[in-house]
Amino acid sequence: MPRKPKKPCAFPGCPCLTDSRYCEEHTKVMNDRYNKYERPYDSSERYGNAWRHIRNRYIKANPLCEKCLEDGKLTPAAEVHHILPLSKGGTHKEDNLMSLCKSCHSRISAESGDRWKRK
């Protein structure tokens, strides 16, 4: 099956062609910019080493996507989602977490407007 042609990087003045919005170099720049200027907190403080331990322990105990399981599908979990976001008073406690596959996590994040909100 043929692939889509590469498109120019969306970063101003970048001549690189890419399959996604930004080339590899500018993806990192834009993610850093997002974390620094658009998030109301420093993500490295909220999602540091302690969070990685909690996440790994939770995903080991819940290895399948909880949303897909509701639909009768067996999909490996790749993300741990906060049901009530930390920005709205949620915690890292188990009753506020759910394991999700990447597509379910992206869909829930987009629906709640976490990162892909329209401006």
d(CA 98, CA 62) in angstroms, rounded, equals 8
Average pLDDT over residues 84-94: 86
**Does residue 117 register a pLDDT over 90?**
no
Q: What is the pLDDT of residue 45?
A: 62
Mean pLDDT of the chain: 85
Q: What's the pLDDT tens digit per position in 42-79? A: 555 667 788 889 999 999 999 999 999 999 999 999 99
pTM greater than the 0.85 cutoff: no
Burial class (CB in 10 A: 0-12, 13-18, 19+), 97: buried
